[in-house]
Structure 1
């Protein structure tokens, strides 16, 4: 499926109705993630973004680990709703994990102390751009996704099970799959309240 840029941006939405039906190969998903990691901009070309892509049983394992951690902190009476939500993420066939390499951030802070306070901020901004590029690319390819933030709750489990380095800080999780249905219509705040133009 090919869309123009505007249409892909418009259609990129949080979609929680995903399935394991593979309409895009794992190799193609890897290709679009690699493209995003390579071409997403970073302040001072820091390239601190790191990504782990989980498919199939590895994807399922992530959401089972998440469920196990949530079971420890969610009241028992409330847990069925929490479990249903996690199972909706698990219903997809893959998850993209986004990290920021803190050794890169700290190295830049040491090299350019005048900008020291800004490098963690710029790192987060770049991570957001990377997440957006991957998400929009998945949408353009016909997949549905949503963005989750179960960090730091699952950080140690992720590090243990996928052997991620200590300096990789988990920032977000993006489950994806074939869309089961389109998301509901979205409401927009008036642009006049959000944009100022001076000529």
Structure 2
């Protein structure tokens, strides 16, 4: 059974690094489009666009998944469920934040997986490897700016402490570069 799942879903058969990078680069534009369609403005002037955003996000995720290698596919797959679990705990159960509607939009966990996959792809490009020290310094400053802004300006203390713990854990695993590549993507998403 495990082999069947690996053969069907977690293989490198359609892996294409250029298309994968295209999806990672296109992510900011897709986010603007998707969140624009699901915005209050769009709803007030046109119609409720959440269903369209849900479909677009699942399709974007699916194509990104299709052209990824087996390792990233597994990470994306797990990230959807971890994201939904996190949304359920912090949004629904603890009521730390909420969306326009009572339910968590379907596009949110898929969007989080796309953010993660995009950061992963960027962190493994030749440019990232070549200028590793430069990117670490820039993104570390960027990362701490985000954390500082959330902690001081918006009083979102939980977010800041969570990211501090998250970065510390990844530093121990020598994966800090992967986390730091996600900091600019946090602005977008």
The alignment's TM-score, normalised by the length of structure 1, stands at 0.31
- Pick the structure with more strand per residue: 1
- Pick the structure with more helix per residue: 2
The alignment's TM-score, normalised by the length of structure 2, stands at 0.32
The structure whose RCO (Cα within 8 Å, separation 6+) is larger is 1
